[in-house]
Structures are given as structure tokens and as C-alpha cells.
Amino acid sequence: MLERFSISLEQDLLKKFDRHLRSHKYGTRSEAIRDLIRKSLVKEEWDADEEVVGVISLVYDHHQRRLQDRITDAQHDYHHRVISTTHIHLDHDNCLEVIIARGNAGRVKELSERLTALRGVKNGSLSAASTGRHIH
Ligand code: NI
């Protein structure tokens, strides 16, 4: 059920908010506000070390010696948390591996940091997703 409430904002802040809403293609202010609230709830889950879902992306050098083994070893060490791994051969030199992990935020971050720090990983990122429990 939807509830309505009104918000008071300084003009300047409202202008900035409307710009944000246009650049992010929101249809209405309500949808933009709902998203901001959900984002901040997800951030709270991560900050409080709750159970989260994280999407780890790695772009790395296919020719780096033993790197693929190290990436696989790390995932075996966290095998209770890794729920999916997709490997894409981007081109002759580069691979992309996307790892979805579920568990306490601290452990998911730990895995992401371990993978990203490996020599030969050119780009590593962790996208903070949610289990969905707290953001209906
Ligand atoms: Ni590959």
C-alpha cells in the first residue's frame, strides 16, 4: 500500500534533485526518492555487516602466469559464499570474471579485496547488491 507524505526542501536543493532525476531518467520525484531510500537501506546492511549479495567483476590479463589458478583458489576458500561465477574471454589478452557472492558484508568485501589485489588484475570492482529482505 502506498502512503503519501509531503517533503519540504530548500529551492536550491530541489533544483539539484530535479537535475539528478533527469540525468538518471526517473519519471517522477517519488520514484527517485524511493530509490534513494532503498540505496541508503542497502548501504546500512553493508555497514552493519549483515547478509548481503555482492557482484565482483574482474578484468585481468589472460597471460599473467598462474593468475587464473589464484582467482580460482580464492573462490574455493570462500566456496560457501560464492554462488555463481561467469567467465568471459573478452579478447586475445583479457578475461572478465563476474563472481556473485552472498554472505556477511565483511566476508564478501574480503573476497573482493583479495581478488582485486592479485597481480595482473587490471580492474576490480564490487557492486553492493542486497538480498532484498529490507527493501521491499
Ligand atoms: Ni578467458
Residue 54 vs residue 131, higher pLDDT: 54
Least Cα distance to 52 among 120, 100, 113 occurs for 100
Same structural domain, 70 and 98: yes
- Express each pLDDT in 38-57 by its tens digit: 999 999 999 999 999 999 99
pTM: 0.85
Q: Does the CA dihedral 12-15-19-21 come out positive or negative?
A: positive
What residues pair up with 99 in beta bridges, in sequence order? Answer: 56, 85
78 falls within a domain: yes
- d(C-alpha 17, C-alpha 35), whole Å: 13
Cα(19) to centroid(ligand 1), Å: 40
**Residue showing cell 565482483:** 56
Is the pLDDT at 134 greater than 90? The verdict is no
Do 90 and 117 lie in one domain? The reply is yes
Q: Which amino acid is at 11?
A: Q
Instruction: State in Å: Cα 62 to ligand 1 middle.
Output: 6
In the chain, the percentage of residues whose pLDDT exceeds 90 is 93
Distance 102 CA to ligand 1 centre (A): 24
- Spacing of C-alpha 61 from chain mean position: 22
Query: Are 110 and 116 spatial neighbours (Cβ–Cβ below 8 Å)?
Result: no
- One domain for residues 80 and 108: yes
| Residue 3 covered by a domain | no
Query: From ligand 1's centre to the CA of 9, what distance in Å?
Result: 50
Rg (CA), the chain: 19
In a domain, 136, yes or no: no
Q: Which domain holds residue 114?
A: 51-130
Report the share of the chain in percent with pLDDT over 70.
Answer: 99
Q: Would you state the cell numbers that stand for residue 59, as one nine-digit string?
A: 578484468
Distance between Cα 57 and ligand 1 center (Å) = 13
Does residue 57 share a domain with residue 39? Answer: no
Q: How far does the centroid of ligand 1 lie from the alpha carbon of residue 60, in Å?
A: 9
Find, among 87, 82, 125, 86, the residue nearest to 101 by Cα: 82
Residue 5 lies in a domain: no
> Does residue 135 fall inside a structural domain?
no
Q: Which residues surround ligand 1, an ion (CB under 5 A)?
A: 89, 95
Q: How many domains does the chain have?
A: 2
